[in-house]
């Protein structure tokens, strides 16, 4: 028996990528699957919400500018669910103003990357969340504060 077959196979990390730009999300999927990640794609928040609750995810990658419900609001929904509240959320978006980044942080994101981003940088940054010995893996989060009226 070879040494390779005797070792348990590592479980593939699951990523839900949400972007309405078919070309951008296709390229993202190709980059991530080439590194062994299992990637599921959604093109709207409405499509992503049931998917996010219908499985075990290791990371969410969201665009901000989605048709209908925004990526910010999708992130808030992810943070509200006990099932997904501790899953890292990365925004990958063309919206790069300081107020956009602040809103991403307020929504509960862990990282805000501005398109275009080098594949090597993207892989390095998400690796900080997806490797067992990474400093940002399994980061528990407190509940979001209730909105004040």
* Domains present along the chain, CATH in parentheses: 12-130 (3.40.50.2300)
Among residues 91, 88, 95, 23, the alpha carbon closest in space to that of 62 is found at 91
Please report the pLDDT score of residue 148 as a whole number.
56
What is the layout of strands, in order, in the sheet containing 111-114? 38-42, 14-18, 59-62, 89-93, 111-114
Q: What percent of the chain has pLDDT over 90?
A: 75
In contact, 85 and 140? CB cutoff 8 Å: no
List, for residues 22-36, the tens digit of each pLDDT value.
999 999 999 999 999
Report the mean per-residue pLDDT for the chain: 87
What average pLDDT score do residues 39-62 get? Answer: 95
pLDDT value at residue 11: 80
pLDDT reading at 43 higher than 90: yes
Which range among 31-35, 55-59, 63-67, 74-78 shows the weakest confidence by mean pLDDT? 55-59
> Can you give the pTM of this predicted structure?
0.84
pLDDT computed for residue 39 by the predictor: 97
């Amino acid at each position: 028996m070879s040494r390779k077959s005797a070792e348990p196979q590592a479980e593939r990390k699951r990523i839900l990528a949400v972007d309405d730009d078919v070309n951008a999300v296709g390229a993202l999927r190709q980059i991530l699957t080439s590194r062994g990640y299992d990637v599921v794609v959604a093109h709207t928040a409405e499509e992503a919400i049931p998917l996010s609750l219908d499985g075990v995810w290791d990371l969410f990658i969201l665009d901000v500018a989605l048709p209908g419900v925004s990526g910010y609001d999708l992130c808030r929904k992810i943070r509200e669910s006990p099932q997904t509240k501790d899953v890292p959320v990365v925004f990958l978006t063309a919206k790069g103003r300081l107020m956009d980044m602040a809103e991403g942080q307020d929504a509960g994101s862990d990282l805000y990357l501005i398109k275009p981003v080098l594949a090597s940088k993207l892989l390095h940054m998400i690796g900080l969340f997806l490797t067992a010995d990474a400093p940002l893996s399994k980061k528990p989060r407190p509940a979001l504060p209730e909105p004040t009226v």
